Structure 1
Amino acid sequence: MLAGMDDFTPDQLARGRALRRAQLPWALGSRAVGLLLPLALGLTPAGAGLVSWAGGLFGGSRTAEVLAGVAVLVLLGQLAGLPFGARLREIRRGYGLVTQGWGGWAVDQLRGLALSLLLGLPLGYGLYVLTDRSPDGWWLPAAGLAAVLVVLLSFLFPLVVEPLFNRFTPLSEGELRTALLDLARRDGIRVREVLVADASRRTTALNAYVSGFGATRRIVCYDTLLTTADPRETELVVAHELGHVKHRDVLTGTVLGALGTALAVAVLGLLACWPPLLSAAGASSAADPRSLFLLAALGALLSTAAGPVQCAASRRIERRADRHALELTGDPEQFIAMQRRLAVTNVADVDPPRWVVLLFATHPTTAARIAAARSWAAA
């Protein structure tokens, strides 16, 4: 038995495996549809036909085709993912992980759709302005602008997007708030405040995170964590999150994300100018709005190929944050207790198959994290 597995009862292990097996076909199906739908529309004239049809509803101008095509692309993506998201939600509700009603879930979907359109429409319009001005070299300024946008969104996300989906209130004065702020001070990290997110409206899962940069940085704890975990366990969760700040993981991730996005746009630009692909998509050039679904298909391919690499990098970063939490608190036993509570409450499979880890896992397995804590203590 892998080290860390004996920290759980057979029933707890079986429950985590059962949830993983129930979710996996739907998670894989969602991934498959998210890739195959853009390919089917982007590598055939079907996508070009949709753009022409949607644009024709609004006058048939180039601008109408661009904006209507982007709207259709966003709507199709949202609709294609709905059955899988709904089924996964129902499975998780059966395990007591979902507290939100269907009405609240539907509102969240509409908020996500509105946000996607709010971002997608001006981005799509701006992209085709660039392609119109420079059909062959549009990707160069587009890559630079995409990198800037990644940095901007990383800064604005905790201030603008997070409040759309959760309400945040300051953690009341008391021992826990003092302990968390002291933890940040010992770590040499400036934290503006400690907030409580009303996650219990949606889930019973436990979590905490540190968001924002500089003067906007704050510790955010799920209310489920504060009402379920011991104060010392909450400190361990926050210590892990402070590790990301200490090692500048958010800043590094933002910079790498900006560079990766710029590179992806450059690759898209080169591929989208390839005549065989344009011919298959029914578009005359990258400046033709009918190339929209071709760009989406190529983007989906790049994203799918990068997924396992991103997961591997994330797992490495999370292992480093775990070590930071152990070094900051010097409490491996409480760290193990915290990992056990998170796994049991979140109904995690503590040791899933290797291929599942490679495809989906952004964190090390619970068994691996517990084993690493014991190795740290022994060393």
Structure 2
Amino acid sequence: MTGHRRVALVVLLLAGGAFALLTLLLVPWDPVPGARPPAAPADSVFTADQLARAEAYSSAARSWGRTSLVVSLGVSLVLGFTRLGRRLVARLPGPWWVAVPLAVVAVLLVGRLATLPFSALGRIESLRYGLTEQGWAAWGVDVLVSFTVQSVATSLALLVLLGVRRRLPTAWPAAAAGLMAALVLAASFAYPVVVEPLRNTFTSLPDGPLRTEILDVARQEGIAVDDVLVSDASRRTTTLNAYVSGFGGTRRVVVYDTLVGGLPTREVVSVVAHELAHARHDDVLVGSVLGAAGAAAGAGLLGLLLPGRRRGEDDDEVSDELALVPRVLALLAVATLLATPVQSTISRQVELRADVDALCVTRDPEAFERLQAMLATRSLSDPEPAGWSQVVFGTHPTALERIGLARGLDCG
């Protein structure tokens, strides 16, 4: 085993062990007091027509989404492990720090163009079922903004990775692990104030009974909240949602304008209580720390899989770096897919704890149940997805699991 691979193996073992330990200690594996209540029967929540409509939309959305996933992965593998990827980036101009971002954009653009028809078909389904009223031009702008953000973030990561590989031929996996972990934390911190404003406009929730009740819930949960923001999400979706992003000085609680204008006060308070529970437990920070450990482990794994760079190799030679870009992106695509069940499992546990906290703080299970039924009805989410699908892709408990929790939870 070469020098850089020995370093990479140590990094992988240490970072992987840190991720496992942090997951064991920080993830709420048993968040429900007592026995977890069973899921509510579907026919006790939804009508037959609602179930049929949700299944019809979910089936179409899954079809296009998973086809897009397969095509995206296939394109990544072809470009990463055949000569096509090398040919695509071989003639890009400039020094390595210019050519590498150009190569990233070229590879990502091929993948995005390959999956764009499936995204468009999925959007047609959303239009047909009334889940969006956004025009095609605005949708195209959103696609362009998302692609730009992805390209910039990926280019920065590749520049860090390949830069330390050039300067530290033996120790680069360790240096890359530290820098990649730092990038994950920095990105999570900056995302609410750098990226989110590119897609939405935020305003403060106006003074009134709703704001007063929300701040009262925050005080009950022991959370210092200076403001609650409203996102203009209605310009792209009719669904209902809220979220917490950032940590420390950039932490924010955001509700969709569709939520504020479309639900009674008790249901909105239930949503915000759930999000405030995330803030109470620093779930964004915990997720960022786990992501940082995962990124460090990923750097170690890349060190095992990528060839080394010999000392004395011409620093002006960029062909090696360009050839590595499609390979690294393909490996990242595979790693992301393999990590999805782990991420989804952790997310479901965190979301379950937030549900428990919201129910116990508001003491309003009826509002929580009505909320979950409305969320599922408006988004046409599948109330009973296949077991394997929920394990791999389900980031939240299903609507029926959440309603069953509201019906059976004993907060004491």
**Fold-level match, TM-score > 0.5?**
yes
Q: Which amino acid aligns with 2:180?
A: A
Matches within 5 A, 1:344-355: 344-355=377-388
2:67, 2:118 within 8 Å by CA — same for their partners in 1? yes
Structure 1 counterpart of 2:163, one-letter code? V
Residue 143 of structure 1, aligned match among 168, 174, 177: 177
Q: Is 2:75 aligned against 1:37?
A: yes
Q: Which amino acid aligns with 1:173?
A: D
Q: CA 1:149/1:69 → structure 2, altered by over 3 Å: closer, same or farther? A: same
State the distance in 2 between where 1:29 and 1:264 align: 26
Which of 189, 195, 205 aligns to 2:223? It is: 189
**SS in structure 2 opposite 1:210?**
strand
- 1:307 alignment partner, one of 340, 356, 366: 340
Q: Is the contact between residue 191 and residue 215 of structure 1 (CA under 8 Å) also seen in structure 2?
A: no
For 2:386, the aligned partner's letter is P
Instruction: Give the conservation status (yes or no) of the 8 Å contact 1:150–1:257.
Output: yes
Match in the other structure for 2:61:
23
Which residue is equivalent to 1:11?
49
Judged with a 3 Å threshold, the aligned counterparts in structure 2 of structure 1 residues 215 and 299 are, in CA distance, closer, same or farther, namely closer
Superposition pairs of residues 220-259 of structure 1, within 5 angstroms = 220-259=254-293
1:224-273 CA deviation, whole Å, 9 max, x = no partner?
01111111000001111111122221111110000001101110111113
CA contact (8 A) 1:192 1:215 kept: no
The aligned residue for residue 328 of structure 1 is 361
Q: TM-score, normalising length from structure 1? A: 0.91
Tell me the distance in 2 between the aligned counterparts of 1:107 and 1:141: 37
Instruction: Sort the Cα spacing of 1:153 and 1:235 in 2 relative to 1 into closer, same or farther, 3 A.
Output: same
Q: Residue 123 of structure 2: SS of its match in structure 1?
A: helix
**Rounded Cα–Cα distance in structure 2 between residues aligned with 1:116 and 1:248:** 25
The one-letter code matched in structure 1 to 2:123 is: R
Residue by residue over 1:194-245, the C-alpha shift from the partner in whole angstroms, topping out at 9 and shown as x without a partner, is 1111111001000112233234433211110111111100000111111112
Shift of 1:378: 9.2
What are the within-5 Å matches in structure 2 for residues 50-199 of structure 1? 50-53=88-91, 55=92, 58=93, 61-199=95-233
> How many angstroms apart in 2 are the aligned matches of 1:158 and 1:376?
34
Secondary structure (helix, strand or coil) at the match of 2:326 reads helix
**C-alpha contact (below 8 Å) 1:191/1:217 kept by paired residues:** no
* Equivalent position of 2:15 in the other structure: none
Map of 1:357 onto structure 2: 390
* Preserved CA contact (<8 Å) 2:242 2:254: yes
- State percent identity of aligned pairs: 44
Give me the whole-angstrom Cα distance separating, in 2, the residues matched to 1:244 and 1:104: 31
Residue aligned with 2:259, SS? helix
Q: 1:166 to 1:297 in 2, by over 3 A?
A: same
Q: Do the aligned partners of residues 305 and 138 (structure 1) sit closer, same or farther apart at CA in structure 2, a change above 3 Å counting?
A: same
Judge which range, 22-31 or 266-275, deviates more. 266-275
How far apart in 1 are the matches of 2:295 and 2:410? 40
Look up the SS of the partner of 1:370 in the other structure: helix
What is the deviation of 1:274?
A: 8.3
C-alpha contact 1:23 1:88 (8 A) present in aligned 2? yes
- Alpha carbons 2:90, 2:319 under 8 Å: kept: no
Question: Secondary structure of the equivalent of 1:193?
Answer: coil
The C-alpha deviation readout for 1:287-329, integer Å capped at 9, x for no partner, is 5431111111111111111111111111111111111111111
1:286, distance to aligned residue in structure 2 (A): 11
* Counterpart residue identity of residue 289, structure 1: L
SS in structure 2 of the partner of residue 159 of structure 1: helix
CA contact (8 A) 2:189 2:250 kept: no
Q: C-alpha distance in 2, partners of 1:251/1:62?
A: 34
When residues 313 and 285 of structure 1 are mapped into structure 2, their CA distance, relative to the original with a 3 A threshold, is farther
How many Å apart are 1:119 and its aligned residue? 2.7
Structure 2 CA distance, aligned partners of 1:4 and 1:250? 32
CA-to-aligned-CA distance 1:65-93 (integer Å, 9 cap, x gap): 42321221222232223112111111111
CA distance in 2, matches of 1:233, 1:367: 17
1:293 is aligned to 2:330: no
Match of 2:242 among 180, 188, 208: 208
Alignment length (residue pairs): 367
User: Tell me, which stretches of 5 or more residues in structure 2 are unaligned?
Assistant: 1-37, 310-316
Provide the C-alpha distance between the structure 1 equivalents of 2:320 and 2:222, rounded to a whole number of angstroms: 50
Structure 1: 4+ residue segments shifted above 6 A: none
Query: Of the two structures, which has the highest relative contact order with CA contacts closer than 8 Å and spacing of 6 or more?
Result: 2
Counterpart AA for 2:329:
A
Distance change (3 Å), C-alpha of 1:67 and 1:207: closer
Which whole-Å CA distance do the structure 2 matches of 1:269 and 1:133 have between them? Answer: 14
Q: What is the one-letter code of the residue matched to 2:149?
A: L
Task: Quote the residue 1:279 is aligned against.
Answer: none
Asked if structure 2 preserves the Cα contact closer than 8 Å seen for 1:48 and 1:293, the reply is: yes
Moved more, 119-128 or 104-113: 119-128
The normalised TM-score by structure 2 is: 0.84
How many angstroms apart in 1 are the aligned matches of 2:308 and 2:156?
A: 26
Question: Take 1:318 and 1:62, find their aligned partners in 2: how far apart are those partners?
Answer: 43
Residue 374 (structure 1) aligned with residue 407 (structure 2): yes
What is residue 278 of structure 1 aligned with on the other side?
A: none
Judged with a 3 Å threshold, the aligned counterparts in structure 2 of structure 1 residues 120 and 374 are, in CA distance, closer, same or farther, namely: same
